[in-house]
Amino acid sequence: MRKRISKKIGTLRRSARYIKPYWGYAVISGLCTLVHVASELLIPIFWGDAIDHMIGAGKVLFDGVWRYVVYIIIATLLAAVAHYFMEVSNHEIICKVGRDLRDEATEKTHRLPLSYLDTQPTGDVVSRIISDVDVFSEGFFTGFSHMLSGLLTIIGTLAILLHYNIIITLIVVALTPFSMLVTAYVAKKTRRHFIEQAEIRGEETALISELMDGQQVIHAYSHEKRSVAEFDEVNERLGKSALKATFFSSLANPCTRVVNSVIYACVCAASAVFAVGGGITVGQLSVFISHAGHYAHPFNEISGVITEVQNALRCVDRVFGLLDQPEESHESEANNAPASARGRVELKNVSFRYLPDRPVLNNISLKAEPGQRIAIVGPTGCGKTTLINLLMRFYDVDSGAIYFDGVDIKTLDRATLRKNIGMVLQDTWLHSGTIKQNIAYGNPDATDEQIIDAARAAHAHSFIRRLPDGYNTVISENGDNLSAGQKQLICLARIMLSPPPVLILDEATSSIDIRTEHKIQRALSSMMQGRTSFVVAHRLSTVKQADLILVMHEGSIVERGTHEQLLAQNGFYAAMYNSQFAEFERHN
């Protein structure tokens, strides 16, 4: 229990830091809340004074009555204006805090290691950044604003009641704990269900993202009914959890209303007794009855606010969980990269594993001299792509070291390292925007002529020219309105626009037809001149032209040499060549 309370306090303090930059709006909101509450509390007093000026039939002191009517109008207008500026200030804080928190969470994703992003559902991460931030920013400050309003109303009402009659006020105070106990009990019950609801919401968002990304596969395998069933199952759990959370949270208001109605009845009865005995005037009786309602209302409001704030705190805990994830190591603050990169890459006894008990690479060593073309081949799952991930420092080695121009890449700034390495993957990625913007992604200052030249070199110019708006054609998210081959050509054009000293081509032409590939290979060969190149491929032309072929099997380099040398060894590569490439070569 103590840990839970300590955690809540820590979350509240951390959340408050996001409001600190906008303390001006918070002050305006607080002052307007004070003015609004004070005006609301003064109106019943003015009404009571007006009533006391109505002495009896034909004995109405109109001067006094009209004076208090004017006061009521002024107080009402003042309350309305204060409420307006209070809501505007709250809205500014909600929008700005939500924006800042979402910006911080988005920036955090760019600093997280791939080991985290690879193991987290994309939809859950998106849910934390969008849905949870919205729930927090709206619920947290709105809740506390209402809580402040309620507390000021309670304090103000008690002060007014004390001013008129101490005994009636003591009756009100004596009955108040019953309302507070009911609120505390219901809040405790709702917390667990709000936690469960937030977690299932993230799970559902992740599932929706997965299903939307895989629509073609779902239709191809007639998996629609199963997909709907999977969604229905998660949605059913979310519905049940939300129903429980809503049920228990909605109990707070009627329960406190019952208790507060009892308090209201007791105040009315006591006030009536005092009025009959001459202890208070009829006007003061109306003040007591009106303020008894004012006193009870904040407890109803606060009971609802507590559950709202609980939900907001649970959501922000999920956001903080993302923000607190360990970032990529920062051993490379000092940029000691060579002034002019040559592209010499060396791996010394490199070992790596994603999971502690499952080694992926075992004692890998190799040297790549500037301008050398190295092909990496092997069966699926042998570690080829993992090796590429280590070269790019998407992951860091468990043991051994990787050197770039003689410098351990762990001591290099990641941005500097990656600026000197260009990569085209089998899995293409394009962003929403024009084709021109996608080709110039790595070089935004490129001219139209340079972009067109790069597209020509990648043999993408002809199909781009046939598109409705040519290079200004807007493509959808991830280029879904283009074929797999067209997307790969655009990615090749992107790297050809500004080729760095080191190139990594991981099945870069796997989605391109053979005829186009032969043309692209000539362009790639020209681009690879003087650049260190790592080529992960299965196609014969790419492998045969390599200066060095590394044959990987079960995380180790089992053979190395040129195409002819490896065939002469009649080993693993020869068997793979005969099974994969001989038939292909006979047909070409």
Overall size of the chain counted in residues:
588
pLDDT of residue 81: 94
Q: Residue for token digits 């972009």?
A: 451
Determine the Cα–Cα distance for residues 503 and 368; give it in Å rounded to an integer: 12
**Mean pLDDT value across residues 419-428:** 79
pLDDT band at 85 (very low <50, low <70, confident <90, very high): very high
Exposure of 43 in the CB half-sphere (CA atoms within 13 A): 16
Q: For the chain, report the end-to-end CA distance as a whole number of angstroms.
A: 74
| Mean per-residue pLDDT over the chain, rounded | 80
Q: How far apart are CA 505 and CA 32, in angstroms?
A: 62
Higher pLDDT, 264 or 343: 343
Region 438-464: mean pLDDT is 86
Q: Is pLDDT larger for residue 318 or for residue 221? A: 318
Rounded CA-CA distance 246/242 in Å is 6
Question: Can you tell me the distance from the alpha carbon of 260 to that of 23, in angstroms, rounded to the nearest whole number?
Answer: 35
Q: Give residue limits of the domains in the chain.
A: 15-323, 345-586
Q: Which of 129-138, 287-296, 450-459, 471-480 has the lowest average pLDDT?
A: 287-296
CATH of domain 345-586: 3.40.50.300
> Which residue stretches of 324-359 are H helix?
none
Is residue 293 very low, low, confident or very high in pLDDT (cuts 50, 70, 90)? low
Q: Is the pTM of this model over 0.75?
A: no
Q: Given a cut of 90, is residue 84 above it in pLDDT?
A: yes
Lowest mean pLDDT among 305-309, 319-323, 534-538: 305-309
Burial (Cβ within 10 Å: 0-12, 13-18, ≥19) of residue 365: exposed
Instruction: For residue 34, name the pLDDT band (cuts at 50, 70, 90).
Output: very high
pLDDT at 181 over 60: yes
Could you tell me which residue, 300 or 432, shows the higher pLDDT? 432
Q: Rounded distance, CA 75 to CA 87, Å?
A: 18
**Separation of alpha carbons 529 and 361, rounded Å:** 29
Q: Which pLDDT belongs to residue 538?
A: 65
Which whole-number Å values give the CA distances from 276 to 56, 279, 284, in the listed order? Answer: 16, 8, 12
Q: What are the tens digits of pLDDT across the range 130-174? A: 888 888 888 877 777 888 888 888 888 888 878 877 877 787 777
The mean pLDDT of 407-419, rounded to a whole number, is 83
Which has more confidence, 89 or 6? Answer: 89
Q: What mean pLDDT comes out for the span 31-52?
A: 85
Q: What angle do CA 44, 30, 92 make, to 5 degrees?
A: 120
* Residue 51 CB partners (closer than 8 Å, separation 6+): 282, 283, 286
Question: Of 85-99, 104-118, 169-183, 479-493, which gets the smallest average pLDDT?
Answer: 169-183
For the cut 90, the answer to whether the pLDDT of residue 433 exceeds it is no
The fold adopted by the segment(s) 15-323 is ABC transporter transmembrane region fold (1.20.1560)
Mean pLDDT confidence for 343-363: 87
**pLDDT recorded at residue 3:** 66
Residue 13 one-letter amino acid = R
Angle between helix 133-164 and helix 166-213 axes, rounded to 10 deg: 170
Q: Is the pLDDT of residue 129 over 70?
A: yes
Asked if residue 337 has pLDDT above 60, the reply is no
pLDDT of the residue at 32: 92
Backbone angles phi, psi at 572, to 5 degrees: -65, -45
pLDDT at 539 over 80: no
**Contact (Cβ atoms closer than 8 angstroms) between residue 435 and residue 467:** yes
Question: How far is residue 474's CA from residue 489's CA, in Å, rounded to a whole number?
Answer: 16
Per-residue confidence at 531, pLDDT binned at 50, 70, 90? confident
Cα 93 versus chain centre, distance: 19
Query: What string of H, E and C letters represents the secondary structure of 519-540?
Result: HHHHHHHHHHCCCEEEEECCCH
**Over 60: is that where the pLDDT of 459 sits?**
yes
**Confidence label for 343 from pLDDT (cuts 50, 70 and 90):** confident
Cβ-defined contacts of 26-31 (< 8 Å, 24+): 26/89, 26/93, 28/85, 28/86, 28/89, 29/86, 29/89, 29/90, 29/93, 29/145, 30/148
Cα–Cα distance for residue pair 270/566, rounded to 1 Å: 103
Number of Cβ atoms within 10 Å of the Cβ of 530: 11
pLDDT exceeds 50 at position 332: no
CA dihedral 550, 553, 557, 560 (to 10 degrees): -40
Q: For position 303, what pLDDT does the model report?
A: 65
Question: Which whole number is the average pLDDT over 357-385?
Answer: 86
Lowest mean pLDDT among 165-169, 215-219, 500-504, 578-582: 578-582
DSSP H or E run through 149: helix 133-164
Assess whether pLDDT exceeds 80 at residue 485. Answer: no
